[in-house]
Amino acid sequence: MSARGVARRYGRIAALAPTNLDIRAGDAIALIGPNGAGKSTLLSILAGALEPSTGSISSGRNGAGPRVGWVPQSPAHYARLSPRENLELFARLEVVPDPSERAERLLRLLDLPDDGRLSAQLSAGNQQRLNLAIALLAGPEVLLLDEPTASLDPRQRRRLWEVAADVRERGGAVVFATQNLEEVDRFATRVVVLLDGALVFDGSLEEFRRAPEADVFA
């Protein structure tokens, strides 16, 4: 999956300058940068949730495109539906075979409550896990995570990274935006640094450790 010259403007404000990014099978790309650097904008464009002002996203598979799972920073589900209802609805919209079975499996995998409570009544951590579950419905080949561990407890963080590792093991890739350099050290194979909407670094974890951009939060 490749982004070629993608940029996004909001009126006069450039949220993302023209950016190139290639995502390859097995990648675990950490997208880092301070607040407002353009990380969420780039992930939204890669997810297809936001149209770029210029540039395009292309696929290496003759335009068929990989299945993309997207976990936005804020929970993106229907507050007045239960987690199961949310999962079944999005599974049907994704045209997943046997949506009920898929929902059941993800409820168990991510240990989500299934007691009829509405999603709005869940804790922030559970809402974030529901967010992840929805992203996993279609069996994504590219998983895009926007600061996914912010409201998760250590056990749930571990579970999240296990899921991400599983996607990579199946030949997929993971791109995650984070401000946590420890997560970068532990889970990234590649690092992309954004500053003021511009991509200023794209290299391996080792290259990043040696690069001046490593102290991006300093």
Task: Please select the residue that binds another protein; options are 14, 25, 81, 198, rule is CB under 8 A.
Answer: 81
Two tokens, residue 26: 């097995």
Contact call for residue 124 and another protein (CB under 8 A): no
Contact call for residue 151 and another protein (CB under 8 A): no
> What x/- string results for residues 84 through 123 when contact with another protein is judged by CB under 8 A?
-x---xx-xxx-----------------------x-----
Contact call for residue 74 and another protein (CB under 8 A): yes
Q: What is the DSSP secondary-structure string of 135-149?
A: HHTT--SEEEEESTT
Task: Using the minimum distance from each CB to another protein, give the nearer residue, 67 or 157.
Answer: 67
Q: How many residues bind another protein (CB under 8 A)?
A: 26
Q: How many Cα atoms sit within 13 Å of 138 on the Cβ side?
A: 18
Cβ–Cβ < 8 Å for 184, 205: yes
Tally Cβ neighbours within 10 Å of residue 111: 12
Pairing status of strand 28-32 against strand 190-195: parallel
Task: Using the minimum distance from each CB to another protein, give the nearer residue, 47 or 191.
Answer: 47
Minimum gap (Å) between residue 16 Cβ and another protein: 13
Cβ–Cβ < 8 Å for 196, 37: yes
Q: Measured between alpha carbons, how far is residue 53 from residues 29, 125, 152, 187, 196 in Å?
A: 24, 33, 34, 31, 17
Task: Please select the residue that binds another protein; options are 1, 6, 77, 112, rule is CB under 8 A.
Answer: 77
Task: Using the minimum distance from each CB to another protein, give the nearer residue, 74 or 100.
Answer: 74
Residues binding another protein (CB under 8 A): 10, 44, 47-51, 68, 70, 72, 74-81, 85, 89-90, 92-94, 118, 134
